[in-house]
């Protein structure tokens, strides 16, 4: 069994991105998500991939999608395209993004793998609802399908884990529940077939509720006899 952990980093500057990527690689991250919406300026995105030996994910979430990018939708998508053209291996596209079919096609033509992502910040939908989201992401041509819910009870972890155990047989899938009550699924979703899961670099740089640090996750995997 191979458990992959993606470390999400929220740099304010490109120079800080270099530093955080180095730290993530030192801690043996399998992938690194660069939250481009955290950057103060976006004029040096092309410099970022050159400093990394680890596959990078470009994510640029708008304020509407609980991110920090406040520019226009055209500007937001241009930044994602710049990332794809300059060596980011993956680009994250929110399900329902304007002109998403065209954007995904252009990202593929630029050489990037596309993660189509869905977030429910209020609850964990039913298994059938999750299945419909997955079908929509697959139909869009997602290379990786990302379905993230919010745990309102510990039992919500079981819904996401049951879903990922079956759905991961037909698609590369990242699926778990956010929030303090969702830590169980965040930790063990790869055991049930998820392509990877997310962690923070440290306590100060968490990018989602319930996120564990990569150190905490690796210690837990070691204690459980998982690698």
CA distance 6 to 28: 10
Half-sphere exposure of 85 (CA within 13 A, CB side): 11
Element housing 190 (H / E): none
Q: What share of the chain is helix, strand, coil (3-state, %, to 5)?
A: 45, 20, 35
Report the catalytic residues: 119, 146
Query: What's the token pair of residue 102?
Result: 């065209």
Residues with Cβ within 8 Å of residue 129, at least 6 apart in sequence: none
The distance in angstroms from the start CA to the end CA of the chain is 7
């Amino acid at each position: 069994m191979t458990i992959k952990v993606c470390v999400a980093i929220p740099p304010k500057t490109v120079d800080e991105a270099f530093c955080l990527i180095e730290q993530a690689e030192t801690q043996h991250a399998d992938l690194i998500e660069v939250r481009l919406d955290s950057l103060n300026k976006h004029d040096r995105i092309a410099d970022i991939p050159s400093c990394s030996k680890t596959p990078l994910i470009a994510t640029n979430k708008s304020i509407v999608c609980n991110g920090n990018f406040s520019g226009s939708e055209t500007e937001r998508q241009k930044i994602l395209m710049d990332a794809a053209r300059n060596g980011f291996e993956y680009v994250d596209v929110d399900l329902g993004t304007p002109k998403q079919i065209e954007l995904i096609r252009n990202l593929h033509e630029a050489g990037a793998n596309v993660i189509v992502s869905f977030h429910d910040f209020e609850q964990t939908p039913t298994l059938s609802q999750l299945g419909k989201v997955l079908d929509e992401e697959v139909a869009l041509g997602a290379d990786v399908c990302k379905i993230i819910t919010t745990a309102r009870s510990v039992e919500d972890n079981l819904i996401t884990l049951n879903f990922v155990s079956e759905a991961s047989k037909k698609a590369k899938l990242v699926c778990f529940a956010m929030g303090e009550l969702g830590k169980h699924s965040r930790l063990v979703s790869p055991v049930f077939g998820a392509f990877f899961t997310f962690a923070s670099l440290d306590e100060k740089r968490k990018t989602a509720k319930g996120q564990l640090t990569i150190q905490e996750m690796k210690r837990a995997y070691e204690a459980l006899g998982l690698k």
